[in-house]
Amino acid sequence: MADETDTSSEKETKGDTDRSPFTQDFPDDPDLQLLVAAFEQGRYDIVRARAPKLAQTTDNPEVAKAARELRRRLDADPLSVRLLLATLLLLVVLTSWAYFAHPH
């Protein structure tokens, strides 16, 4: 009997750890939980569409903050964007230099 209780406690604990760490402190709201589930399943289209709507329509500021956080996590990392742009610029500069500096 004690083993069954331990097993169910382990399942509950394991269920909590299956969630993304940053969502552990999110408020308990059914609409927000649907967004978290969609986020964790990789259904980012749902999160992109519904998170801003939830943030605008909810009365709970914590739910709105959590919805905005979920949506923000789908945006590209600003450093990665800058590095990609710098790489593209370097490619254009080096290609132009190689083309114009060498006779054809």
Residues 14 and 35 in one domain: yes
**How do residues 39-87 score in pLDDT, each as one tens digit?**
999 999 999 999 999 999 999 999 999 999 999 999 999 999 999 999 9
Task: Categorise residue 2: left if φ over 0, alpha if ψ from -120 to 50, beta otherwise.
Answer: alpha
Query: What's the pTM value of the predicted model, to 2 decimals?
Result: 0.65
Residues 6 and 55 in one domain: yes
Residues 67 and 97 in one domain: no
d(CA 55, CA 59): 9
**How do residues 18-51 score in pLDDT, each as one tens digit?**
778 888 889 999 999 999 999 999 999 999 999 9
- Residue range(s) defining the domain that contains residue 98: 77-104
Residues 60 and 96 in one domain: no
Residue 76 near residue 57 (C-beta atoms within 8 A): no
Domain count, the chain: 2
